Amino acid sequence: MASSMLFKITLIISLLAVATAHRIFAPPSTSTGSNASTGSNVFDVTKYSASTSASASANSKAFTDAFKGACAFKDRSILLVPPGIYQLGPVKFGGPCPCSHITFEIKGTLVAPQDVKAFSGPAWIEFDALHGLVVEGGGVIDGQGQSAWEQHYNNKAISMRFMRCVTGRITNLTFKNSKFFHIAFHHSQGIIIDNLKIRAPCNSKNTDGIHLSSSSNMTLNNLDIGTGDDCISIGPGTYNVTITGCKCGPGHGFSIGSLGKFKNEDNVGNIHVKNCSITGTSNGLRIKTWPGAPPSEAYNITFEDVFLNNVSYPIIIDQKYCPNQKCTTNQPSQVKLHDITFCRIKGTSNTPVAVKLDCSEKAPCQNVKLQDISLQPLTSVVPKISSLCSNVLGAVMGTQKPDPCLIPHAGRSRKNTTSSVSSYAK
Ligand SMILES: *[C@@H]1O[C@H](CO)[C@@H](O)[C@H](O)[C@H]1NC(C)=O
Ligand SMILES: *[C@@H]1O[C@H](CO)[C@@H](O)[C@H](O)[C@H]1NC(C)=O
Ligand SMILES: *[C@@H]1O[C@H](CO)[C@@H](O)[C@H](O)[C@H]1NC(C)=O
Ligand SMILES: *[C@@H]1O[C@H](CO)[C@@H](O)[C@H](O)[C@H]1NC(C)=O
Ligand SMILES: *[C@@H]1O[C@H](CO)[C@@H](O)[C@H](O)[C@H]1NC(C)=O
Ligand SMILES: *[C@@H]1O[C@H](CO)[C@@H](O)[C@H](O)[C@H]1NC(C)=O
Ligand SMILES: *[C@@H]1O[C@H](CO)[C@@H](O)[C@H](O)[C@H]1NC(C)=O
Ligand SMILES: *[C@@H]1O[C@H](CO)[C@@H](O)[C@H](O)[C@H]1NC(C)=O
């Protein structure tokens, strides 16, 4: 209660900060646009010859030029995309901008080239080394991924990538049909990500909504994500993430991982997912690690107040994650998972194994807590549901539907037990 209050206050303060920044620095008539030479803090891309009829490459140049002006400004500046539909090729907004904090105000629609080969780097729109960046404006970021999803091409562009960005906010935007991930953060800290809508069809491959890796102190709130892959995925080196008020589906649900694909991966810790609803996804709340994964850890991960509707595998720890059965080893994962809580999880499962805790024999899961789990079978598809545990140590509390496999006997709910593969059905 207190922490959610604090969170709201923080959010209001940051909203005010953004609003004030606009009021203080915006010139009387921002709509006419201007730039540093006239003293204004607004860098309107159309004043740098971007236009709704210009080519993607011409607009990329105009956006880059406008950014240079905004970056060189002596105070907070606004890089403005007015309403309208703009073709846009790859752009990189690279800092540091020593004196300026930039607000990228996207009021229009940005449309990516369809051709996967139009991109030489990993991203379509990339921000690098920016401090206090705000991306907002109510606009649309259209990745035009339709023809890319079925192609085998190993450099499909992420629609928007944030590298080494510290403090800032991305809010009030719609992303659609990315070729690869819609939004990715890498080596970034202290960013608020809120009020976003992200959409791609359920059969679009690798179109994760938001991916975080090597990032910390990230706050995600009020997101509406339906894609062909994970709604939100959390990779190695990510700490202190709070996700609240999210809607997810279709897609693959929430994922911590996949972890352990590479050597010397950083750990993952302190991830809190609260008050989210998940509909029609192929997994719900998932932690996944690869077979043969080298040692690392993922810990203090809490999922609470989550409603799942018509989901396959609502609760799943999968330490033998192997998509397309293309794994080169069947060695156990050495990623140690501990202090994992699922609390007040409700809804329906469309597969028989609604709770699957399949941990590694080499690094058993420790202190996994299930509290007030109330899952029902989606009876039109499955008559009954059960739990499956392997190599997991933990405790159950409160309601348990399906019957838990963490404890062998009803009533001993506070005891830590290990179970081998076992499943109970009622
Ligand atoms: C201001 O905008 C003009 C185009 O209208 C451009 O030629 C000039 O380089 C800009 N100046 C700065 C400092 O960005
Ligand atoms: C989102 O952006 C639109 C267009 O700029 C604006 O009218 C609206 O007030 C913004 N919404 C929020 C919640 O900031
Ligand atoms: C994250 O926030 C905590 C608490 O405010 C702070 O101590 C820590 O330094 C921050 N981490 C980074 C990497 O900025
Ligand atoms: C995570 O938050 C804790 C507590 O605020 C802080 O001590 C720690 O430095 C943070 N971790 C990172 C990697 O920022
Ligand atoms: C939970 O999230 C929904 C959005 O999905 C939001 O409307 C609602 O206010 C949130 N509830 C609480 C208690 O934060
Ligand atoms: C666990 O993670 C949550 C959410 O990030 C954080 O508030 C809490 O302090 C962490 N607990 C410990 C023991 O680090
Ligand atoms: C469950 O979701 C599937 C798609 O994943 C859909 O085809 C089906 O109609 C849904 N069933 C119900 C009862 O919502
Ligand atoms: C279960 O065991 C772990 C360590 O193995 C411990 O940290 C935890 O507090 C125990 N939980 C209960 C409910 O006894």
The C-alpha atoms of residue 357 and residue 393 are separated, in whole angstroms, by: 10
Q: Which of 142, 229, 230, 318 is catalytic?
A: 229
Q: Give the residue whose CA is nearest to atom 10 of ligand 5.
A: 245
Is residue 199 one of the residues assigned to a domain?
Answer: no
Q: How many domains does the chain have?
A: 1
Q: How far is the CA of 129 from the centre of ligand 6 (A)?
A: 27
Rounded to 10 degrees, what is the CA torsion of 234, 238, 244, 249?
-10
pLDDT at 420: 33
Best CA proximity match to 257, nearest among 328, 317, 206, 203: 317
**Cα Rg for the chain, rounded, in angstroms?**
23
Nearest ligand to the C-alpha atom of residue 415: 8
Is residue 64 one of the residues assigned to a domain?
Answer: no
The C-alpha atoms of residue 205 and residue 323 are separated, in whole angstroms, by: 12
Mean pLDDT of 116-143: 97
Best CA proximity match to 212, nearest among 177, 194, 196, 188: 188
Best CA proximity match to 308, nearest among 317, 298, 296, 316: 316
Q: Can you read off the two tokens belonging to residue 392?
A: 């997991």
Nearest atom in ligand 5 to 4's CA? 14
Is residue 286 one of the residues assigned to a domain?
Answer: yes
pLDDT at residue 412 is higher than 80: no
* Helix (H) or strand (E) run with residue 331 in it: none
Tell me: the pLDDT tens digits for 316-351? Answer: 999 999 988 788 888 999 999 999 999 999 999 999
Residue type, 364: P
**Would you say 338 and 366 are in contact if contact means Cβ atoms under 8 Å apart?**
yes
Is residue 13 one of the residues assigned to a domain?
Answer: no
DSSP H helix total and E strand total for the chain: 2, 30
Is residue 358 one of the residues assigned to a domain?
Answer: yes
pLDDT at residue 421 is higher than 80: no
Lowest mean pLDDT among 194-198, 252-256, 360-364, 409-413: 409-413
Q: Which domain holds residue 423?
A: 230-426
Best CA proximity match to 245, nearest among 209, 275, 285: 275
Active site residue 194: no
Q: Can you read off the two tokens belonging to residue 372?
A: 């007030």
pLDDT at 311: 98
Q: How far is the CA of 21 from the centre of ligand 2 (A)?
A: 15
Is residue 33 one of the residues assigned to a domain?
Answer: no
What CATH number is attached to the domain comprising 412? 2.160.20.10
pLDDT at 24: 36
Nearest atom in ligand 5 to 305's CA? 1
Nearest atom in ligand 2 to 195's CA? 13
The C-alpha atoms of residue 417 and residue 394 are separated, in whole angstroms, by: 6
* Site of tokens 């506070």: 414
pLDDT at 413: 41
Q: How far is the CA of 217 from the centre of ligand 4 (A)?
A: 7
Q: Which of 182, 186, 211, 252 is catalytic?
A: 252
The C-alpha atoms of residue 73 and residue 78 are separated, in whole angstroms, by: 10
Helix (H, G, I), strand (E, B) or coil at 72: helix
Q: Give the residue whose CA is nearest to atom 3 of ligand 8.
A: 367
Which pTM was predicted?
Answer: 0.87
DSSP state of 246: -
Nearest ligand to the C-alpha atom of residue 310: 7
Is residue 240 one of the residues assigned to a domain?
Answer: yes
Q: Classify each residue of 279-289 as buried b or exposed e, where b means 16 or more C-beta atoms within 10 Å of its C-beta.
A: bbbbbbbbbbb
Q: Is 217 in the pocket of ligand 4 (CB under 6 A)?
A: yes
pLDDT at 4: 54
pLDDT at 38: 64
Residue type, 51: S
pLDDT at 326: 80
Residue 270 dihedral angles phi and psi, to the nearest 5° = 60, 60
Nearest atom in ligand 1 to 43's CA? 14
**Would you say 43 and 35 are in contact if contact means Cβ atoms under 8 Å apart?**
yes
* Helix (H) or strand (E) run with residue 135 in it: strand 131-136
Is residue 289 one of the residues assigned to a domain?
Answer: yes
Mean pLDDT of 367-392: 95
Tell me: the pLDDT tens digits for 261-302? Answer: 999 999 999 999 999 999 999 999 999 999 999 999 999 999
Active site residue 338: no
**Would you say 342 and 316 are in contact if contact means Cβ atoms under 8 Å apart?**
no
* Helix (H) or strand (E) run with residue 376 in it: strand 365-377
Quote the strand ranges of 129-267, DSSP E. Answer: 131-136, 140-142, 158-163, 166-176, 183-186, 189-199, 210-213, 216-226, 232-234, 239-244, 247-248, 254-259
**Would you say 172 and 137 are in contact if contact means Cβ atoms under 8 Å apart?**
yes
